[in-house]
Chains A and B, each alone.
Chain A
Amino acid sequence: MTALVGILLVAFVAGVFGSMLGVGGGVIMVPVLSLAFGVPIKTAIATSIVCVIATSSMAQTTFARRGMTNMRLGMFLEVATTAGAIAGGITAVLVDGRYLQVAFACVLFYVAWQMGRRRGDIEAVPGPVMPATYYDPAESREVVYGVHGLGVGFGLSFVAGNVSGLLGVGGGAFKVPIMNLLMGVPLKATIATSNLMIGVTAATSAAIFYGRGYMDPHWAVPAALGILTGARFGPRLAIHLPTRVLLIAFEVVLPVFAVLMILKALAVIA
């Protein structure tokens, strides 16, 4: 019973932060479930994948209603991430997974530093490609932007999808910097769009895990319910908080992901 309440609370917090930053609430769940609650690793991963779906679906109802998600950009990049995921084995054959994990952890440290050192969001540049507008209540103004660097973004999203299964970070942590830093998408629209995208790859993995019998309602159900509750609040924070605060949150959260990846590479955690 205490375990159930514990899981609900952890999932609630993961749901708030995962949906607020668009990185999915699942990543933190794997080490917590396996280290603190002694859940077998496959079950922990299956549970965390359900958490990512729950975060994505619940958060999106708020973001879509606000028009913050760039639906066309999301769909376009989903082609790259899903194709990358299905080709996942290729990278694993070419490079030792541990080196990849360390390499990508370094990328995350760099991205965290890049995001944290900025005073504010990137300059929104209107353009003809997938143009979008949303209202930012924190700044009391409409933000108008176009998407830039489609080719680079598509290519890197393929890589992110390709390694996400291997790295176990769902790829959300990489989708955010790709869209925000390289494609000119303002941070809040990036968070909303990343939130939409992570549900797709997670649903595919979850269907496979379900079929193999790794899904355990004892853990997955309370985790999902906690996440769903948290993911009602996260998007509201993302919408109303100043961009600067969100950038600081990334500066804190991304290095945590990076450390988790390095620990995984060193086989300290599964």
Chain B
Amino acid sequence: MSDRQDAGTPPRHEMDPIERMVNRVLVVGVGLAVALMAVGIVLSLLDGTGLPAHVVALGDLASRLGSFDPAAYLSLGLMVLIATPFVRVAGSIVAFARQHDRRYVLITAVVLAVMCLSVALGRA
């Protein structure tokens, strides 16, 4: 314990490279997801149809984004949100590798591999 009892303003935390990487991925991921959902909501309001009840399959996404289908933007927003933790784990591998922390490169790689395997097997 350091003696900071009398400090009026709390000390600013200096993020380490891992925290900075995680923070950056999450800020960008959440921001992009919200932006896409906002576009989808505006498009569905313009259509006057209300929010769609089905997501767009990955294969149809590109063409339906091009035709300004609200469901496509909302789906892509949800996809980005779902993908964010995957990217966060992948980004952590890079951050640990830069620190030459082999053990944690391995640990984090195992997490990413098991995540991908679960999706491939269709169970989690």
Asked whether, in the complex, the Cβ of A216 is within 8 Å of the Cβ of B55, the reply is: yes
B41: A residues at CB distance < 8 A: 221
Asked whether, in the complex, the Cβ of B26 is within 8 Å of the Cβ of A86, the reply is: no
Q: Taking A141-B1, A142-B4, A204-B118 as contacts, is the C-beta distance between A217 and B78 under 8 angstroms? A: yes
Question: Which of A142, A144, A200, A218 has a CB less than 8 Å from the CB of B53?
Answer: A218
Check B82 for interface membership: any CB of A closer than 8 A. Answer: yes
B40: A residues at CB distance < 8 A: 217, 221
Asked whether, in the complex, the Cβ of B23 is within 8 Å of the Cβ of A75, the reply is: no
Asked whether, in the complex, the Cβ of A135 is within 8 Å of the Cβ of B78, the reply is: no
Asked whether, in the complex, the Cβ of A204 is within 8 Å of the Cβ of B119, the reply is: yes
Question: Which of A58, A64, A135, A201 has a CB less than 8 Å from the CB of B19?
Answer: A64
Asked whether, in the complex, the Cβ of B81 is within 8 Å of the Cβ of A57, the reply is: yes
Which B residue sits closest to A212, measured CB to CB? B122
A66 to B14, CA, bound (A): 8
Q: Smallest CB–CB gap between A139 and chain B, Å? A: 9
Check A127 for interface membership: any CB of B closer than 8 A. Answer: no
Chain A positions 143 through 161: 1 when the CB is less than 8 Å from some CB of chain B, otherwise 0: 1100000000000000000
Check B54 for interface membership: any CB of A closer than 8 A. Answer: yes
Asked whether, in the complex, the Cβ of B104 is within 8 Å of the Cβ of A72, the reply is: yes
Asked whether, in the complex, the Cβ of B83 is within 8 Å of the Cβ of A203, the reply is: yes
A228: B residues at CB distance < 8 A: 30, 34
A266: B residues at CB distance < 8 A: none
Asked whether, in the complex, the Cβ of B115 is within 8 Å of the Cβ of A203, the reply is: yes
A66: B residues at CB distance < 8 A: 13
Q: Smallest CB–CB gap between A2 and chain B, Å? A: 13
Interface residues of A in 31-87 (CB under 8 A from B): 50, 53-54, 56-58, 60-61, 64-67, 69, 71-72, 75-76, 78-79, 82-83, 85-86
A76 to B10, CA, bound (A): 30
Asked whether, in the complex, the Cβ of A200 is within 8 Å of the Cβ of B82, the reply is: no
Q: Which of A137, A165, A201, A210 has the most CB of B within 10 A?
A: A210
Check A28 for interface membership: any CB of B closer than 8 A. Answer: no
B84: A residues at CB distance < 8 A: 53, 57, 199, 203
Q: Taking A141-B4, A208-B123, A225-B37 as contacts, is the C-beta distance between A217 and B53 under 8 angstroms? A: yes
Contact count band on A:
35 or more
Interface residues of A in 100-156 (CB under 8 A from B): 134-135, 137, 140-144
Sort A-B residue pairs by CB-CB distance and give the 10 closest, nearest first: A203-B85, A67-B13, A204-B124, A217-B74, A82-B114, A199-B85, A218-B51, A205-B124, A64-B23, A206-B82
User: Chain A: residues with CB nearer than 8 A to chain B?
Assistant: 4, 50, 53-54, 56-58, 60-61, 64-67, 69, 71-72, 75-76, 78-79, 82-83, 85-86, 88-89, 134-135, 137, 140-144, 165, 196, 199-208, 210-213, 215-218, 220-222, 224-225, 228
User: Chain B: residues with CB nearer than 8 A to chain A?
Assistant: 1-2, 4-5, 7, 10-11, 13-16, 18-19, 22-23, 26-27, 29-30, 33-34, 37, 40-41, 50-55, 57, 71, 74-75, 77-79, 81-86, 88-89, 92, 104, 107-108, 110-111, 114-115, 117-119, 121-124
What are 16 A-B interface contacts by the 8 Å CB criterion?
Answer: A57-B29, A60-B23, A61-B23, A64-B22, A67-B19, A71-B19, A71-B22, A78-B89, A82-B114, A85-B124, A199-B84, A207-B119, A211-B122, A213-B55, A215-B55, A217-B40
